[in-house]
Amino acid sequence: MTPRFAGLILALLALAAPAAQAAPVDTGHLKAELIAQTQAIAPGQTIQVALRQEIDKGWHTYWRNPGDSGEATKIAWTLPPGWRAGDFVWQPPEPQPAGPLVNYGYSGEVLLPMTLTAPTNAPVGQTVTLKAAAAFLVCEEICIPEDALLELTLPVQAQPAQPSGRWAAPIARALEAAPQRADLVATFENSDQGLRLAVTGAPLTDADLAGSYFFPFDGAVIDHAAPQTIERGAQGLTLGLTPSYAFQGPEPPQVMAGVLKAGDAYYEIEAQAGPLSPEASGLGPPAARSGGLSAAGLGLPLALAFAVLGGLILNLMPCVFPILAMKAASLAGHAHEAQGARRQGLAFLAGVLVTFLALAGVLIAAQAAGAAVGWGFQLQSPPVVAALCLLMLAVALNLSGVFEMGTSLQGVGSDLATRGGLAGAFFTGVLAVVVAAPCTAPFMAPALGWALTQPAAAALLVFAALGLGFAAPFVVVAFAPGLLARLPRPGPWMDHLRKVLAFPMYGAAAWLLWVLTLQAGPMGLARLLAAAIVLALAAWLYGLSQGRSRALALRGGAAVLGTLALLAALIPAYQSAAVAGPEGSGAVAELPYEPYSAQRLAELRAQGTPVFVNFTAAWCVTCQVNEQVALAREGVAEALAATGAVYLKGDWTRKDEVIAAELARHGRAGVPLYLVYDRAGAEPVILPQILTEGVVVRALEAAAS
């Protein structure tokens, strides 16, 4: 056999040999291996390979943005000269809630494809062994960094290899499932209403967008644990997000990239800062939707009709009932005075129309200035909500007979109840519209959506039609003698009805108080309750002064107290509601600590000082949950101070052989580990991995006793 023939035989054997794949590496809580979509590779060819993870049940690894804690999977190749490997093609992640945190990662089996390119001078007939070091953070209740040294051997053949073998189809499916770039337009805007991300495009037009979710590439742009609201539009959607600390600096982000989950599809998007696309929300053209109705091509006549219908139905909304019930009782008092009833109806209509047009003017102007506001925007302001709450309380106290403001039931000010109650009727119309703002009735959304894309004149006409529909029932009754004649004549029953109607007004005040707690938190609630007490005292003093010949001092005191209550409601001192601790836990506190070292621990133990040691890591989910729920609490801070204990924190975010040895000494392979040393120098007490504030406090007290 000639040497040339022998060389040819060896080359053919190499071509026939499949890719030599090393056995999976068991890192402890997962098995990892390198797999290829082909069984060989040609010079200059690019093929797909993948890092395969088979993760133990109950454990998980992390996506490129791990979320609130964790660490992404990494790979470092060792390749022969000229060979190139690409980055991971990340698979869609799964949200992984962990207490107050949310992380992004994978469980079960996951393939992370990569491209592998051979140099053009790769020697045909030989095999190449490719090596890579993979690093994983694997978590359950504890988090453990695990590593694997992986190999993949491929024959080099003359002709480009085709996908074949066991892993060809799984890698193809992983590439197909990966988020794709599509013809989507994405913008985002951060304002007082929060961070809003709008995405539009043909792929979203008829898609089922329930459960849509945004996974950002940058872990600093949003609060991962905060819920994401969905507003469906004709050509896309708008997600309501909670901005994170990246938006608090002097240079907020101008680009926000990530993965959008829309139904069963995943899209890679890159949103630019700027005005939101109206087609992404329920109020935008060309086909904003509400209850299946479309604003596309409405035109002015149909928009006006929808507005009138929406205004009529708005009367049935629960937020409007207390006001209209009060007005209906007032109308009953004029039931047998046709002229007075008609004047009442027209005054109420005027109040409704003026208020609807005023709100429309403010809304149109704000949108023209670039503000992201919509129907009901005034009730997004805590001072406005607080003032309305006090106003409802004042009306209820008037109806309960604490003080009198004229003879009409809807009077709410000394000048508003005069002249036969016409000013009171006008003001009741104003109040009804303001309180109706949180409600949106059927037909309203398409009408308003169309109006807010038109010139100001057309928009104002639509809002006026909405007001006409809203006021129509009351006006029709006022001008219908037959209906009025059916009402009983005024008598003692009117006073009883008046007092009964006070309770819906108390209910409206309570509802607004609840709204304020969501906007301004416990301190806002305390301020408004104090203002309500002052207002009630002012109303009582004013009522006490009525019918007395010398009541100037009482009325002056009432005026001063009423002014103080109103100022307490209007001064813009409300802050955003703080995130409450779980189950009413104590206040958040910063715990002073020292970095852990074996030397410092030995010194403290020699001095007879109680010591609390926390072995933690930034990527440890359980550690971060315990930090928020149990450690950073006022009760723990007080216990540390009272016992004289020293808090040592061992940070294992980066590998530290000293901490690793200490973990192993206590039978642990990962963090968290919590140790409490007492004064007597005994062996430490190991606390549970899931902490509570009480567990830590009791352990510190026992160590000091």
46-73 tens-digit pLDDT: 999 999 999 999 999 999 999 988 999 9
Select from 394, 437, 694 the least CA-distant residue to 563: 394
375-432 tens-digit pLDDT: 555 665 677 778 878 888 887 887 788 877 644 333 333 333 333 467 777 877 787 7
Q: What is the mean pLDDT of residues 678-697?
A: 89
Query: Looking at the whole model, is its pTM more than 0.85?
Result: no
β-bridge mates for residue 34, sequence order: 51
Q: What is the mean pLDDT of residues 437-441?
A: 57
pLDDT, position 21: 58
Q: Which of residues 489 and 480 earns the better pLDDT score?
A: 480
Q: Which of 134-143, 164-173, 336-345, 684-693 has the lowest mean pLDDT?
A: 336-345
Q: Which of residues 321 and 228 earns the better pLDDT score?
A: 228
Q: Residue 93 to residues 41, 64, 272, 622: CA-CA distances in angstroms?
A: 31, 9, 23, 20
Contact by Cβ (8 Å): 444, 320: no
614-639 tens-digit pLDDT: 998 766 667 777 888 889 888 999 99
pLDDT, position 441: 57
648-663 tens-digit pLDDT: 999 887 677 788 888 8
Helix 338-368 to helix 456-478 angle, to the nearest 10 degrees? Answer: 160
pLDDT, position 114: 97
DSSP 8-class letter at 378: G
β-bridge mates for residue 191, sequence order: 194
175-216 tens-digit pLDDT: 999 999 998 999 999 987 789 999 998 899 878 887 899 999
Q: Which of residues 398 and 563 earns the better pLDDT score?
A: 398
Q: Which of 118-127, 262-271, 514-523, 689-698 has the lowest mean pLDDT?
A: 514-523
pLDDT, position 333: 54
pLDDT, position 625: 77
- Residue 335 pLDDT greater than 80, yes or no: no
Gyration radius (Cα) of the chain, Å: 35
pLDDT, position 137: 95
C-alpha dihedral sign at 366, 371, 376, 378: negative
Helix ranges restricted to H, 32-72: none
Q: What is the mean pLDDT of residues 316-321?
A: 62
- Residue 16 pLDDT greater than 80, yes or no: no
Q: What is the mean pLDDT of residues 455-469?
A: 85
97-141 tens-digit pLDDT: 887 889 999 999 999 999 999 999 999 999 999 999 999 999 998
CA–CA dist 648, 129 (Å, integer): 47
Q: Which of residues 641 and 3 earns the better pLDDT score?
A: 641
Select from 283, 280, 269 the least CA-distant residue to 235: 280
Most confident listed range (9-13, 301-305, 365-369, 514-518)? 301-305
Q: How far does CA 585 lie from the centroid of its chain? A: 22
CA–CA dist 270, 692 (Å, integer): 41
Q: Which residue type sits at 451?
A: A
Contact by Cβ (8 Å): 70, 136: no
Q: What is the mean pLDDT of the chain?
A: 79
The confidence band for 456, taking pLDDT boundaries of 50, 70 and 90, is confident
Q: What is the mean pLDDT of residues 498-511?
A: 78
CA–CA dist 462, 308 (Å, integer): 8
Quickly list DSSP for 264-290: TEEEEEEEEESPPPGGGSTT-TTT-EE
Q: For the chain, which domains are there? A: 3-167 (2.60.40.1250), 185-281 (2.60.40), 293-570 (no CATH), 583-704 (3.40.30.10)
Q: Which two tokens stand for residue 231?
A: 């507003």
Q: Which residue type sits at 458?
A: A
